[in-house]
Structure 1
Amino acid sequence: MFDINGGELIIIVVLAVLLIGPERLPGYAAQLASLVKRGKRLLQDTKARVDTELGPEFKDVDWSKLDPRQYDPRRIVREALMDDDEPAPAGPTAAAAGSAAGGATAAASTRTSDAPRAAVPAPFDDEAT
């Protein structure tokens, strides 16, 4: 948490002994210990109160999913665009799905490059507007 190694801790203890003095150091250590104990007790009480007020339905919530560090916009878009009911078509099934979906798209994909483009009308959905 504080990223203090052994050498740094020894320097801090030596400085504390020199600055505070050996006669007052046990009193300050006791105050620090009681402060840490009160902080730990406060944290435990707060967790218990939050659990009590939220109720049992929030006990099995995975809070790590709400961590902003887990945010990946590509994954979110991919999951939003994928249908849960039918898997994404791949390989030869994609052509079959395209021909089953609409004749205009199948005709457009099988059309040669020298054919006039005006022969196939543009797709239009009158219910979309």
Structure 2
Amino acid sequence: MLEGLVVLVGLGRLLTLVGLVVFFLLAFPLLVREPARWQLGFFKALAYTAVLTVLLEFLLRGPSWLHASYGLISALLLLCVSGLEPGGWFRRGLPHPPERVGQYFFWASFVGFLLWERFIQTG
């Protein structure tokens, strides 16, 4: 059972890393237009995969403070930006939501990739 969870954590790390690279490479048009529905769903799946991976990492290993910081910051960044979709939980909570959110998804995928890479390296 424990070996299966360790494999699941490793798979979550890899899927999130590869997913962020793929999303970033496909997200250049988001600098000038809004994300398509499939891009919103893909980014939300990446965010939830990152959150699940970080939670499992905490439960299994009790990571160091640096490893925990990189994991939490990257997962929260992805989760908050995924809430900027039209009708999303984060967008509804803002007093003045942004009109265009494409560039936020682009930059979040880039910064999220950098933070996630450090999360993997410090683990």
TM-score by length of 2: 0.20
Identify the structure with the greater helix proportion: 2
Q: Name which one, 1 or 2, has greater alpha-carbon Rg.
A: 1
